[in-house]
Structure 1
Amino acid sequence: MSTTRRQMLARTGAAGAGIAFSGALSELFAGSAFAAGTGYGDLIKDPNGLLDLPKGFKYKVLSREGEPMSSGEGPVPTNFDGMTTLRGRRGTRHLVRNHENRHNGKIRVPAVDGITYDPNGMGGCTSLHLDSRNNVLDEHTAIAGTAVNCAGGPSLWGTWLTCEENEDKAGTNGYTKDHGFIFEVHPTDTRKLGGAVPLTDMGRFQHEAIAIDPSNGVVYETEDAFQKPFGLFYRFLPKKPLGGMGSLQAGGKLQAMRVPGVPDLSSVQETGATFDNVEWVDVPDPLAKETPIRLQDFGAKGITHSQKLEGCYWGGRSVYFVASFAKSAEGSAADHYGQIWKYTPSSKRLTLVIVFGPDSDLQLPGEEPDNIALAPSGGLMVCEDGEGAQHVYGLSRGGEVYAMARNAQNIGTPEAPEWGEFAGVTFSPDGETMYVNCYNPGTTFAVTGPWKH
């Protein structure tokens, strides 16, 4: 769908929400204990101009950019992005939140002694400690001195793996250290992990998200490279699998996915397309000392690329990853408005599960899926990162696409409205609260209501 049509729908108040897609949603949710799940009705315009939700739902603003943190370290940084919920003590929970600040970021993550990697890096993570009623008990810096912290993923032992979507080297843009790494973050004090330690064996590239196989500790990683050749899909084989906090610092082996005969995933357009011959190839130089990994020599068979690899999560026996879009005008083999892929390690099988619009119904305004999370209903919640109006939309197990939230914060003008993307959707351990970020202006919401379980 063209940007012009998206913006027209937004300006005329079109209520259609979600996305047009084709595919087998049942594959995504096999084995779920939850019910099929359906939508929650039309979105109701928020009189406060922050967040539109269905009837019966309400939100609470937990944090806003520029407001003082309770720690006294400084103002809340800008550019809210990926986020996770981690269990705390006595029924509390922690939200660990990325800040995708570049070298010229508006409000940096405060540089705090013992947890700052590069004093000239403006990105990092903040952590919110919440009680069971979503009251903020504390807000503080969790890691600082990193760059362009985009997404990441939770570990299996109560920490957050934050990913730098950046590969600037020391001396570029004022940085004093190389960037493009994954860092492990503790929700209360990252000093418990030795401070801001880059997990160098996991590769230096434009990281997006990760997911961990709970059976063996293998970490899967997506790369969101902006120019052709586009990013790769990786797996990391740790020397100390499932070793707990800090174990990833022991290192391991980084490999990239090769699908024989498929140099570009965008060329695959048929849902259900399956490849049983997936190969994993050792990365020649994970630190990319001279050459970015996606440009390195993987042999005569080459390697498999994809534009805009984004969200990544583990479900059942498989890892799922999102390609947000592909545009032939930018160098992709074909065009699409989003794909969800499934890789099953036990069978070495890769399957294209869903292809997103726009062919089936041009009235639906959604496109470009980004961050993704399992919902209490057993379906998915997907953050939209496109043009025009921005939604969190749900995909039910039964195949329904519905709006869950719409950003009402206009950062443009009345004549030419603009809305910041959503990011970091995640749920509380009891499934009763959806947490989500508005990227700009940075806002973290807690959404409660009649969730279907």
Structure 2
Amino acid sequence: MERRTFLRTAVIGSSAAAFGGTLWRGAAFAAPAQPAPGPYGALQPANANGILLPSGFTSRIVARSGQTVPGTSYTWHSAPDGGATFANGTGWIYVSNAEVSASSGGGASALRFNSAGTVVSASRILSGTNINCAGGSTPWNTWLSCEEVSRGFVYETDPWGVKAAVQRPAMGRFKHEAAAADADHGYVYLTEDESDGRFYRFRPTTWGNLSSGTLQVLVAGTATSGPVTWANVPDPDGSPTQTRYQVSGAKVFNGGEGCFYAAGTCWFTTKGDNRVWAYDANTSSLSLAYDDSLVTSGTAPLTGVDNVTRSGSGDLYVAEDGGNMEICLITPAGTIAPFLRISGQSGSEITGPAFSPDGRRLYFSSQRGTSGSSSGGITYEVTGPFRG
């Protein structure tokens, strides 16, 4: 495992060339991000919803845990967590996990919007599952909802709520966090929320069908950048030996959280060391997009890294679990700055950031809202001049 005290003194010096060289350019970013003014300017005072946003951006609440979603008869779930959007004719759908036990309503729900952005329906799309934390969308328009429990499952769900959810044991049984589909190379990447977690990829036997395939784990040394290899996980069922202990040399990641694939790169986060990683799928190499211990001046803006998404412009939006309750923006130029901050909700975390298909609206939740309880979750929409 990496020692962050070593990184502060050694990585910036002896390994700086690796971050600035061809490896990092392959991941389409400049270097581990450093604080700088954001592309949208400074945050303005908190609005009526308690959100600090750049000038020109507005927010609204679209759902509250335990309350009927306006315009529907559906009661929104507790502890909203990972989310994604799907095109739906002239409108779109936002799906959200419920990070609570089955007995408390675990699973996932969907909000459906018309072309004007009005919620026209909402419903449950997955029930009876436990601690569904994050997940990911697929190119064939399903939502992979991941159980964050020991030997948890991935469930493939239908955002329209027409088809029944399907358990996908071939994708491994472990403490799942997030998933990201890579149609360019035919894999689904998976993070594991353990302090000694691993980073996995699943190759379906047939792309688009997750019923069978091969689960692999990333293998590398202790370095934070360089080429990596993959090894098959002998027993994806994870019993009696848990998946993360089955392959010698599998790289340890401290608390895997969100992941998102685009443009040949899978970005994923680890909360235990406040890092955003970049796996370049074209060159099979690893590098760092952000590490709070590598911030060279001032205070690290991003801590408690969690869910991550990407805009059409290539900007990464990384949500905080705690920290200052911010979503921070990392640009391809290698700068990082807060994009928004939620005030008065220090007992919560920001979850589920996802852009509408046209890129004009950003959805996310405060999992425990102002109450600090899973029953107090709030799901928001931000609209504004996002760069395309």
TM-score, with length taken from structure 1: 0.72
Residue 450 of structure 1 and its aligned partner are, at CA, apart by: 2.0
Larger Rg: 1
Verify: 1:268 aligned to 2:223, yes or no.
yes
Q: 2:202 aligns with which of 236, 242, 245?
A: 236
- Secondary structure of residue in 2 paired with 1:404: strand
Q: 1:447 aligns with which of 382, 385, 388?
A: 382
Instruction: Specify the SS of the correspondent of 1:44.
Output: coil
One-letter code of the match for 1:217?
G
- How much does 1:432 deviate? 0.9
CA offset digits 1:137-171 (Å, max 9, x no partner):
1111010111111111110011111111112xxxx
Aligned residues: 353
| 1:150–1:57 CA distance, 2 compared to 1 (3 A) | same
Matches for 1:346-385 after TM superposition, within 5 Å? 346-357=282-293, 359-385=295-321
Does 1 or 2 have the higher relative contact order (CA < 8 Å, sep 6+)? 1
Q: Given the alignment of the two structures, is residue 398 of structure 1 paired with residue 333 of structure 2, yes or no?
A: yes
Q: Is the partner of 2:302 in helix, strand or coil?
A: coil
Percent identity of paired positions between Structure 1 and Structure 2: 31
2:160 to 178, 181, 188: 188
Q: Which has the higher strand share?
A: 2
Structure 2 residue corresponding to 1:430, chosen from 336, 358, 372:
358
Give the 3 Å change call, closer, same or farther, for CA 302–29 of structure 1 in structure 2.
closer
Q: What is the alpha-carbon distance in structure 2 between the residues aligned to residue 102 and residue 309 of structure 1?
A: 20
**Structure 2 SS opposite 1:146:** coil
Q: CA deviation at 1:224?
A: 1.0
Give the Å deviation of 1:72.
Answer: 4.2
Pairing of 1:111-260 with structure 2 (within 5 A): 123-167=106-150, 180-189=152-161, 191-192=162-163, 195-226=164-195, 230-241=196-207, 243=208, 247-249=209-211, 251-259=212-220
C-alpha distance 71-62 of structure 1, shift in aligned 2 (>3 A): closer
Q: Deviations over 1:1-20 (max 9, x none)?
A: xxxxxxxxxxxxxxxxxxxx
Which AA in structure 2 matches 1:400?
A: T
Change (3 A) 1:133 1:372: same
CA displacement 1:193-234 (0-9 Å, x = unmatched): xx23210010000111111221242111111114xxx11111
- Alpha-carbon distance change, 150 to 408 in structure 1, aligned in 2, over 3 angstroms: same
2:237 to 287, 290, 305: 287
Q: Which amino acid aligns with 2:250?
A: I
Q: Distance in 1 between the 2:148 and 2:235 partners?
A: 18
**Map of 2:374 onto structure 1:** none
Q: Which residue of 2 aligns with 1:323?
A: 270
* Partners of 1:397 and 1:304 in 2: CA distance: 26
Judging changes above 3 Å, is the alpha-carbon distance between structure 1 residues 374 and 23 closer, same or farther for their aligned structure 2 residues? farther
TM-score by length of 2: 0.84
Q: Secondary structure at the match of 2:206?
A: coil
Which amino acid in the other structure matches residue 293 of structure 1? T
Number of the residue aligned with 2:278: 341
2:135/2:144 contact within 8 Å kept: yes
d(CA) in 2 for partners of 1:360, 1:302:
31
Residue 77 of structure 1 and its aligned partner are, at CA, apart by 1.6
Structure 2: how far apart are the matches of 1:216 and 1:47?
43
* Native 8 Å contact 1:183 1:197 kept in 2: yes
Output one character per residue of 1:322-365: Cα deviation in whole Å (capped at 9) or x when no partner: 22233xxxxxxxxxx32413232x43333334323465234344
1:279-323 CA distance string (max 9 Å, x none): 322212211232321233x2xx43221111112122222322222
Structure 2 Cα separation of the partners of residues 419 and 358 of structure 1: 27
Structure 2 contact 277–286 (Cα < 8 Å) conserved:
no
Residues 352 and 401 (structure 1), Cα distance of their counterparts in 2 relative to 1, 3 Å cut: closer
Query: Given the superposition, is the C-alpha separation of residues 27 and 282 from structure 1 closer, same or farther in structure 2, using an over 3 Å criterion?
Result: closer
